[in-house]
Amino acid sequence: MAEALRSAIRLAEQDAPVIIHGPAGSGKGLLARGIHYASRRGQEPFVELDCANLPEDVLAVELFGDVARGPDGATGILTLAGRGTALLRQIQHLSTTLQMRLARALAAGVDARVFVATKISARELLSSGAMIPELGEQIGNARLRVPALTERERDLVVIANEVLLDYGLSRREPPKELAPETVDALLSHSWPGNVRELLHVVTSAAERSAGAVISPEDLIIRVRRESRSEPTHSIEIPAEGASLEWIAEEAVRLTLELTGGNKSAAARTLEISRPTLLKKLRNLEARQQAQEEAEQENSLDRAFLTDSLILR
């Protein structure tokens, strides 16, 4: 990530269009905003357009405005940005016609600086035909790759603390802190959702935390299995049926087996709070104890009957 930041600093001093590519949720939009606000255009508008899932006629208006209606028509993003920055996401969804029109507009000169954010590199876009060469010539000279969050472990804690700082500022209260165990939990996660997932997890933890320090129990991280070879357990419901509470307690028991007895990890896997898990665990232990006592009573009864028969 250090290389990407160095490149971003250099790009902030330029005016050329930029292609930013990286995995979904890796922070391409955040980096684009950072470059914008660090540049001389920082006081000007920053506007975005996602080109996916929009009909061509709608995209044409979103990009270039409703020219047919004259002054009363809708204003396109290239005009709305003024002398600021326009960020176009998933540009590969633009038709060849709209790509050519955009290439011509950029060649003629627009006031706004154009950024493109995509999961696919410029080279792949061009080689696959998803982007026409004419557009590639206009926007493909400055390229920036944003690595996945798993490739930038050092950034994880920095980003998490920035989220907590923003959370505190928005509520006019001191920022919350991450307990060392919480940092360990964050670093141990694979983050398939990248920065977007991290932002959600940390913000949610800040909302759940009652104190000034966020503990691992405040985190809810969805655990995804990376391999089918990992151990799995299933809950076997008796033929006579079982209560929902019994099934929930069995889920707690089996999850604790999967996590090696780690209660915090089990709570995160089940997406429940640690206090809730502990309550269900107490209920489970009480049920197991009652079963053991019942079995002991049955054993004593059988022993008594056996002794009675022998005495006779």
pLDDT of residue 227: 40
On whether both 20 and 60 belong to a single domain, the answer is yes
CA distance 40 to 84: 9
Residue 227 maps to a domain: no
pLDDT of residue 134: 94
pLDDT of residue 274: 72
**Helix crossing, 96-108 with 56-64: angle to 10°?**
10
pLDDT of residue 156: 82
Residue 268 structural domain: 244-311
On whether both 62 and 194 belong to a single domain, the answer is no
On whether both 88 and 56 belong to a single domain, the answer is yes
pLDDT of residue 89: 92
Long-range CB contacts for residues 210-213, cutoff 8 Å, separation at least 24: 211/176, 212/174, 212/176, 212/177, 213/176, 213/177, 213/178, 213/179
On whether both 53 and 107 belong to a single domain, the answer is yes
On whether both 100 and 48 belong to a single domain, the answer is yes
CATH number at residue 284: 1.10.10
Query: 178 forms bridges with which residues in the sheet?
Result: 214
On whether both 157 and 132 belong to a single domain, the answer is no
Number of domains in the chain: 3
Collapsing DSSP states into helix, strand and coil, what is residue 47?
A: strand
Residue 237 maps to a domain: no
pLDDT of residue 1: 52
Q: End of a domain among 105, 127, 147?
A: 147
On whether both 20 and 107 belong to a single domain, the answer is yes
Q: Is the CB of residue 96 less than 8 Å from the CB of residue 69?
A: no
On whether both 77 and 97 belong to a single domain, the answer is yes
The pLDDT averaged over each successive group of 10 residues in the chain (312 residues) is: 65 84 84 88 92 88 77 78 93 92 91 91 88 90 81 79 87 90 84 83 88 87 47 62 74 79 75 77 77 60 47 50
On whether both 115 and 214 belong to a single domain, the answer is no
CATH number at residue 69: 3.40.50.300
Structure tokens at 252: 């707690």
Residue 238 maps to a domain: no
On whether both 58 and 103 belong to a single domain, the answer is yes
Residue 239 maps to a domain: no
On whether both 143 and 155 belong to a single domain, the answer is no
Q: Is the CB of residue 86 less than 8 Å from the CB of residue 124?
A: no
∠ CA 151-144-160, rounded to 5°: 45
On whether both 73 and 193 belong to a single domain, the answer is no
